[in-house]
Amino acid sequence: MKNLFQRNWYTEVRRSDNRLLKAKTSYVDTYREAVAHLLVDVNSFIIKEALWEEQRSSEPMNCRSRLVTPLHGSEAYFSAGPALKEAAAFLNDSLAVALFSETVKGFIDAETFLLKERGFTSETDYVQKWKKFYLGSCRFFSNLDRTTQSWYDYVGESNRDGNLFVRFKTQSLFDLGKGQYLLTGNLSDSFHEVNVSLKLDGFNVVEADGVLLRAPDLVCREAAALLANLQGINLRDLAKKEIAGILGKGQGCVHVIDLVNDCAQILELYKTFGL
């Protein structure tokens, strides 16, 4: 088994002071290295500064650092999509969308520990928001009648200082010989730990497996069984919305779906993938 290509992500959200949050997503793959930085207001999540750094590329280049002004003044939250597309156009780099998007997701996850700053009156108030928002789109919040513990029972507390949230992700492509390949993905963050493994014949999935090693409830871990639905699916050019449908939509796990999508992207990123 020969490793052909791999990529790694690291997202970190830290409390800078009483007014600001700092976050970054660092990215390294076989061909590229880059970092997306965001500085936001702790109450509004409005972006005060966005910085893009690139240290290495498949093409000869000098290290560069640019302020991403199209993101300044936008909200680092679910509404950030249009601004992220503007940032990618500004930088002429599609990777910027992925890295700044991961950084925004970090702020959304860190909100768990910013109740007062974000205008929530209590842990119950915060959880009620997510019950409504994620109903039908997350296995945990779509099966609250079956869960054995609440969100804050799992998290343990609603107060953190300094480091608020971290997420590691990695995906790898291996050559198994005879036209077969293995795609693996791993995610480990402050709340979850997920692994997926996809055996391919060409672009077609012949085996799919995975596990949620750490999740808010046992009901979440059941989503791993839905990976079997990928068997027989051609992963090339498969949109994320299609992956979500195959993996159960709201009865699936958004982190499993994200990880499979990350793995599928490798088929396009690996330039010399000779099928």
* 189-229 pLDDT per residue, tens: 999 999 999 999 999 999 999 999 999 999 999 999 999 99
Q: Would residue 144 count as lying in a domain?
A: no
What is the extent of the structural domain holding 194?
178-269
pLDDT tens track for 100-139: 999 999 999 999 999 999 999 999 999 998 888 877 778 8
Helices within the chain (DSSP H only): 81-91, 95-110, 123-134, 139-142, 151-155, 218-221, 240-246, 254-269
With 90 as the cut, is the pLDDT of residue 187 above it? yes
Average pLDDT over residues 35-41: 97
With a cut of 50, say whether residue 144 has pLDDT above it.
yes
Position 63 pLDDT exceeds 70: no
Highest mean pLDDT of the ranges 55-59, 93-97, 192-196: 192-196
Q: Tell whether 104 and 186 lie within a shared domain.
A: no
For residue 178, pLDDT over 80 is answered with yes
Asked whether residue 103 falls in the same domain as residue 183, the answer is no
Identify the domain boundary among 78, 111, 144.
Answer: 111
By CB neighbour count within 10 A (0-12 exposed, 13-18 middle, 19+ buried), where does 106 fall?
A: buried
Domain boundary, last residue among 111, 139, 156:
111
From 84, 111, 138, give the residue that closes a domain: 111
Whether residue 6 is contained in a domain is answered as yes
Global pTM value: 0.92
pLDDT band of 271, cuts 50, 70, 90: low
Instruction: For residues 180-191, give the mean pLDDT.
Output: 96
Q: What is the mean pLDDT of residues 251-264?
A: 93
Report the mean per-residue pLDDT for the chain. 91
Same domain, 18 and 97: yes
In a domain, 139, yes or no: no
Q: What is the CATH number of the domain that holds 252?
A: 3.30.390.50
- 7 and 84 fall within a common domain: yes
Please report the pLDDT score of residue 273 as a whole number. 46
Residues 6+ apart with CB under 8 A from 195: 184, 185, 186, 187, 210, 211, 213
**What total number of domains does the chain contain?**
2
